[in-house]
Amino acid sequence: MLVLSRQRDESIMIGDQIEITVVDIRSDKVRLGISAPRTVHVHRKEIFDSIRLENMEASRVQVEDLAEADDHLRNIFERPERRGMRQRP
């Protein structure tokens, strides 16, 4: 881990496009300003961990989930002749 000391209004650069500026220092809190391209996602660590956990849980697929999704899709995309509609010539 790289540890840097900065004073208020001083910055550090990460690569060419990410700038982190010390905005304010009050007792035991430091306020940081982060300037980064929109394509770079910036989250507090606890939010990042929460997103990662949610993504991991969402990626776990149960067989029952697949069967239910299959039934649902079959009902949506059922052929017209099966729904009592006649087919076009």
Tens digits of residue pLDDT in 2-29: 999 999 999 999 999 999 999 999 999 9
3-class SS string, 52-64: HHHHHHHHCCCHH
Tens digits of residue pLDDT in 21-78: 999 999 999 999 999 999 999 999 999 999 999 999 888 877 777 888 888 888 888 7
Confidence (pLDDT) at 70: 85
pLDDT band at 83 (very low <50, low <70, confident <90, very high): low
Residue 79 pLDDT greater than 90, yes or no: no
In whole angstroms, what is the distance from residue 15 CA to residue 8 CA? 21
More confident call, 11 vs 79: 11
